[in-house]
A and B are shown apart, each in its own frame.
Chain A
Amino acid sequence: MKVIYFASIKETLGISEEKIILKKPCTILELIEILIKKDKKYKFVFSNLAKVKCAVNSSYVDFNTVVYDKDELAFFPPVTGG
């Protein structure tokens, strides 16, 4: 699946997107657990989920949402436009 990152999360991770192969559907929380094991940068980003929002296929969802390999998942901080 395509995972994309924005703003401070993108800067901390040093990447704007990556491909993750999902062998089977899982919740976003489960995916975060997988990411955290990859690198300590992810652990830092996901250490406080109150500061992280997520969207699947460009719609807001919560962390218990099940994602599939075909999905586009985005992680970003709470928005600050206007």
Chain B
Amino acid sequence: MIKIQKKNFDYAEESKKFSKKNKYSGSISSFLGKVRKESNNKLIESIEIEHYPKMTKKEIKTIIDYVISNWEIDDFLIIHRFGKIDVAENIVLILIASKHRKDSLDSLEYVIDWLKVKATFWKKEITKKGEFWVDQKESDTKKIKKL
């Protein structure tokens, strides 16, 4: 399931529900992305995430379709937030269930790496010194080229 939403989510609650739903899977891997309090020596107050609604879900679906074709996974959940998000709050959650750990671990890494370079979200950091759009990291695109 893919959820693009404004409101925060409860990591423990989502993990519990997913685990219960996939009680016979041998492995569940998870990634939780949160708002850091510091970036490039600036104290972050909050971030603002903008997205292209028509395209965001479609791009994530393409990533997931590749995962389903290349790893044996039982289920997945992706939640990505947009709008204003305060420091320490959750941004993104990825849960993948599979029979064996290698499938959930490897596919999880694939999803987060590709999400960072394809899913149409843009992050702006709000600090006391001003507001700054975040640039895509060269290391993220280089990593994708190696895959």
Contact = CB atoms under 8 A, between A and B. Distances in A.
Interface of A: 4, 6-8, 11, 55, 58-60, 72, 74, 76-82
B95 to A, nearest CB: 15
Contact of A74 (B55, B119, B123): B55
B34 to A, nearest CB: 11
Contacts of B51: 81
Contacts of A4: 52
A81 B122 contact: yes
Interface of B: 33, 49-52, 54-55, 58, 80, 91-92, 112, 115-124, 133-136, 141
Contacts, number: 72
Contact of B117 (A8, A72, A78): A78
A7 B133 contact: yes
SS class of chain B's interface: helix, strand, loop or mixed?
mixed
B123 A81 contact: yes
A35 B134 CA distance: 25
Given A58-B54, A74-B52, A79 B136 contact: yes
A80 B123 contact: yes
A6 B52 CA distance: 8
Nearest to A82: B116
A79 B120 CA distance: 6
Nearest to A8: B133
A72 B33 CA distance: 32
A7 B116 contact: no
26 contacts: A7-B50, A7-B122, A8-B122, A55-B55, A55-B120, A58-B55, A59-B55, A59-B58, A72-B54, A76-B52, A77-B122, A78-B117, A78-B135, A78-B136, A79-B120, A79-B121, A79-B136, A80-B116, A80-B122, A80-B134, A80-B136, A81-B51, A81-B120, A82-B33, A82-B91, A82-B92
